[in-house]
Amino acid sequence: MPQVNTLPGTTDKRLAALLTLLSENATIVISGARIAREIGVSRSTVWRWVEQLRELGVRVKGQQLTGYFLEKVPDILTPDLVRKRMKGSLFGKRVFHFFKTDSTNRVAMELGYADEPEGAVVLAEEQTAGRGRAGRSWHSERGAGLYVTLLLRPKLSPVQAPLLTMLAGLSAHTAVLAQTGLSAELKWPNDLLLNGKKLGGILTEMHAEPNSVRFVIVGIGINVGQEKFPGEIAATATSLRKESGRLHSRLEVLVKLLSQFETDYNRFLREGAAYVVQRFELVSGFANGKRVKVDTGRETFVGMTAGLSADGLLIVKRDDGATTTVIAGDVSEVM
């Protein structure tokens, strides 16, 4: 199958160029004629796109006659900006950006099937059907969170793929610490928590043959700028803004996350599972000596966590005396 060049719904390159032009000249009025010339469209198209950007929440001031300027540089993850910051990296080659899509995991899956090479990054400002683990949804408010999926083609057996979820959790932990100074708790297998509330999560999906992975997609969601959350998650979710008391640039968090993930991924490929398992045990206070309730979907039990197995599964010493290795399930702390 030929490699995908454009995907329906990705941000038009010229619209992104308009945004870059305005951002690089923020607060300076640029005439519609100059914009039209520089990005190669008509003045009426410029006007139409400015309207579109306004609808997307970008604060563009001015009008057709006087020219336009940005009231505030928006924190939008345009592909140009991301590529520039990730130059030379595995994740600086192919960046697919959407103002709105259903799920970046769904898009990345499509790219995987279409033979897109390893390293593609799919980003959305907003997801209308963000996916969470165990069939849950992922709240994806426009411009507030980081919604990113990475396409990987590692030479791994399918049983090792879940280690990539833990690896992404570790990278997210490091990125958040570097950006904010906050040390997020890692809860096996895929939760990122601050003060016991959910800050982020990872959803890994794959396409595999019985003995080898064809591709894996790692979807990462981090709550960055949310001030509040709707109804059912209001009490259980949090964001970097809520926890640190200040607004952080999503671009900065993204660049730290991608750079860290690349380093961690390469070490995992070189050193194997032990690198991920040992680091996870070190960073996660959940992996050892925590009293937890485990719901595997088939049964529920209570016990103490007793470390991770060599391939990253959670070992729990149950109250009834048995030891169970949890392959998948919901783990919550019992106070």
The residues of the shown chain that bind ligand BTN, judged by CB under 6 A, are 103-105, 127, 130-133, 136, 138, 147-149, 190-191, 201-203, 219-221
User: At 90, phi and psi to the nearest 5?
Assistant: -55, -30
**Chain mean position to CA 227:** 19
Q: How far apart are CA 331 and CA 314, in angstroms?
A: 10
Q: Name every residue whose Cβ is closer than 8 Å to that of residue 277 and which is 6 or more positions away in sequence.
A: 163, 166, 308, 309, 310, 311, 312
- What's the min distance (Å) between Cβ of 191 and ligand BTN? 6
- What's the min distance (Å) between Cβ of 329 and ligand BTN? 13
> Which residue number, 10 or 190, has a Cβ lying nearer to ligand BTN?
190
> Which residue number, 39 or 186, has a Cβ lying nearer to ligand BTN?
186
> Which residue number, 16 or 220, has a Cβ lying nearer to ligand BTN?
220
Q: Provide the pairing of β-strand 323-326 with 213-223.
A: unpaired
> Which residue number, 141 or 191, has a Cβ lying nearer to ligand BTN?
191
Note whether 203 and 190 are within 8 A (CB).
yes
* Two tokens, residue 147: 């919604």
- What's the min distance (Å) between Cβ of 156 and ligand BTN? 20
- What's the min distance (Å) between Cβ of 112 and ligand BTN? 14
- What's the min distance (Å) between Cβ of 52 and ligand BTN? 24
> Which residue number, 86 or 220, has a Cβ lying nearer to ligand BTN?
220
Q: What b/e readout covers 166-195, taking b as 16+ CB neighbours within 10 angstroms?
A: bbbbbbbbbbbeebbeeebbbbbbbbbbbe
Report the residue number whose CB is nearest to ligand BTN.
201
Over the Cα atoms of the chain, what is R_g? 22
